[in-house]
Structure 1
């Protein structure tokens, strides 16, 4: 089975704080053709993992997009050039949590181009019965 992955540099952005450089490992597989998995690392320590919609990330390269737990929008900064602001929501042991990352837009675009070569948009095939079984299993 084919899989697409890429490691890209990102900045963890916190209001009023100096951005923290991290690494994001993006992965995509045809067995979950609508989703992108993003793992965020500081050195070798995995800090967080999110799954979000491939199409929404693609739209976020060009205009604000998203809903629920993931929001994306293009940003151009003097320090980082053309980036995508990734606002990701989730829960941790302390309750609701939010993280904001700035990711290099050209790196994201190259990754997404490779996913589109593997599974072109509009050709995604999702086994709904298997998806429901996985969700209900826990």
Structure 2
């Protein structure tokens, strides 16, 4: 069984113009980092012209489907029945994107099949992680 899940999503960038442009993005989940999800945007979709990856808690994404969540760099909230809003805050500015809630639910369901919610701690090898940190120091 694969230890990584990747799901392409259509993100709609909210801008000052009335029409939201569609940009490609992908949600990622890796059993090796069981508490986190990543959302990546390819270089052509970013202002800097480089791939951008945001990492945040799987729990934040799941909770954000039901109610506004997050106080830091990433915030998630429902928008109507079928959309979820993700806000990414950086010193350069804020990006706000809408994604289909069904895509997020599907992604979270697949992630839960890989690592059930509440059992993430069983995937963490603290000794290995500590040894790796010590090597890097």
Which TM class, normalised by the smaller chain length?
0.7 to 0.9
Report the CA distance between 1:89 and its aligned residue. Answer: 1.5
8 A contact 2:63–2:69 mirrored in 1: yes
8 A contact 1:10–1:23 mirrored in 2: yes
1:122 has 2:118 as partner:
yes
Q: How does 1:107-118 map to 2 (within 5 A)?
A: 107-118=103-114
Report the CA distance between 1:128 and its aligned residue. Answer: 4.1
More helix by share: 2
Runs of 4+ deviating beyond 6 Å:
none
Return the TM-score normalized by structure 1: 0.81
**How far, CA to CA, are the matches of 2:37 and 2:75 in structure 1?**
14
- Counting matched residue pairs gives 129
**How far, CA to CA, are the matches of 2:134 and 2:98 in structure 1?**
31
Q: How does 1:1-138 map to 2 (within 5 A)?
A: 1-41=2-42, 42=44, 47-76=51-80, 82-90=82-90, 95-125=91-121, 126-128=124-126, 130=129, 133-134=132-133, 137=136
More strand by share: 1
8 A contact 1:10–1:21 mirrored in 2: yes
Report the CA distance between 1:109 and its aligned residue. Answer: 0.3
* Alignment deviations for residues 105-128 of structure 1 (CA, whole Å, 9 cap, x no partner): 001100000000100011012334
**How far, CA to CA, are the matches of 1:86 and 1:132 in structure 2?**
35
Root-mean-square deviation (CA, aligned residues, Å) is: 2.5
Report the CA distance between 1:49 and its aligned residue. Answer: 1.2
Return the TM-score normalized by structure 2: 0.81
